Amino acid sequence: MPKQATDKRLVGVVVPVGALRSKNGIGVGEFSDLAYFALLCKKMRLGLIQILPVNDTGFESSPYSSLTAFGLHPLYLRIENLDEFATVDKAIKTRIKEAREKFDKDTRFSHYNVLKEKLEICKMIYTANKAEIAKSASGGKLAAWINNNSWVKEYAVYRRLKEANEQKSWQDWKEYKTVTAEDIEKLWNDKSLLEEHLFWAWLQEALDTQFANAAKAIADAGLVLEGDLPILMNEDSCDVWAHPEIFTQNLSAGAPPDMYSPDGQNWGFPIYNWENQEKDGYSWWKKRLAIAEKYYKAYRIDHVLGFFRIWASSRGDYSSTLGRYVPYTAVASRDLKKMGYDKGRIRWVSQPHIRTNEIWDTLKSSWGGAYKDAELNAAANKIFSKALERIGNEELWIFKKKIKGEKDITNLNLHPASHGYLFRKWKDRLFLEYERGKFFPVWYFRESTAYKSFPENEKNSLKNFWTSAA
């Protein structure tokens, strides 16, 4: 943040760029509108403009669900400010006029429709000028920009593949689901794909220029432009696809349960693998912050606590009640054994136990009296055979080892009446073994069947252990 911003308090405004609609835009606020907004803010004696994230999210409307840590959103491009616009034909100008008239009627902009229309118009302009753009990419201005923004190669390859796969997540692609840096470079250099790749690079260079110009206009007006950097990345992003080694994809970031969200929050974003990032000096983060400094005089990092610790739960769960803070000091098997826990006792506290009659009672209760014995038997037996395994000859069951979370339970195609009960039982444990021989107490451990079965002296023993471990 600049010196003047730290010497005095500033009054500012927070606004999404998309909200700054003007007669010059196409259905949505654009980067160029920031310059005019700065003049208004100056008249109002404001000192700061904070905007929401502006990275490319594709057709996902949330600004916090970006496809890239570096690329800007084509939604905010001012098409008529493109260098190539001077030579566009009447058909393109008519298309722009019709699009503007169509979307200006809407009080709320349609993210999908506006973006789709703007991309189609951009491709028309690109196609009409592709020879000159290709020449610029082989030794001109665009080539220099690509050289200084090497991230755009993997972004362009990713965007082309995403279009070829009908915008599906890279996890659902048939080809190139897993790639190396060499694979990406080979695809980028494939001459048969060059035209498609250059479209995305050309678009990003134009966005960079327009946003930088807007940032300069804000600074020239004497205001501070503050950005918003979400600490996490969407799992379906170029960065997770191209650099899986810097993410821990089997864990999903979120927040623990509270009075407003008893199941916690599962944001669906992978957490970072800080050990791997440390190996190259956190180069990915340094690059991300360096790009932010091109535009912003200050920036907010959303969920900055995530740099130090973050609540994470299994990707296999919908909720985050079985999550833990990462990093976390584990309870080891040897610690439990020192407390007198044998193998059976450790299983009792770390795995849900289900009585046979509970399955029948759950199904009967959900159906009321409207069931046939044959249907009830079939539904119950399917649960026993597909989801559970018996403990010896007891009328007691635990989940099969192949069940790793709530999503696995859903995928078994059991009777819907059993889902709520099985989800509750999945969480019914005192400890969760998240790695072999490593445990942590779950958030609602006091409500678990195992904990409630303990005599007071054993509960106190656990309390004393946690106090000494802390």
Mean pLDDT of the chain: 94
Residue pair 117/79 in contact by the 8 Å Cβ criterion: no
Q: Predicted confidence band at 469 (pLDDT cuts at 50, 70, 90)? A: low
**Of the candidates 417, 437, 435, the residue with the CA atom closest to the CA atom of residue 371:** 417
pLDDT tens column, 78-108: 999 999 999 999 999 999 999 999 999 898 9
DSSP 423-468: HHHHT--SEEEEETTEEEE-TTGGGSHHHHTS-HHHHHHHHHHHHH
pLDDT tens column, 99-138: 999 999 898 999 999 999 999 999 999 999 999 999 999 8
Q: How far apart are CA 337 and CA 340, in angstroms?
A: 5
Residue pair 406/316 in contact by the 8 Å Cβ criterion: yes
pLDDT at 17: 98
3-state secondary structure of 255: strand
- Domains defined along the chain, listed by start: 3-234+274-306 (3.20.20.80), 331-351+429-470 (no CATH), 352-417 (no CATH)
Question: pTM here?
Answer: 0.91
**Of the candidates 331, 313, 324, the residue with the CA atom closest to the CA atom of residue 437:** 331
pLDDT at 158: 99
Asked whether the predicted pLDDT for residue 5 surpasses 60, the reply is no
Asked whether the predicted pLDDT for residue 365 surpasses 90, the reply is no
pLDDT at 461: 87
Q: What single-letter DSSP state applies at residue 36?
A: H
What percentage of the chain reaches a pLDDT higher than 90? Answer: 87
Enter the tokens of residue 456: 């007071």
HSE-CB for 10 with a 13 A CA cutoff: 23
Q: How far apart are CA 27 and CA 19, in angstroms?
A: 10
Q: Predicted confidence band at 6 (pLDDT cuts at 50, 70, 90)? A: low
pLDDT at 463: 84
Q: Predicted confidence band at 2 (pLDDT cuts at 50, 70, 90)? A: very low
Query: Considering Cα of 53, then 56, then 57, then 58, what sign does the dihedral take?
Result: positive
pLDDT tens column, 60-71: 999 999 999 999
Q: How far apart are CA 129 and CA 221, in angstroms?
A: 35
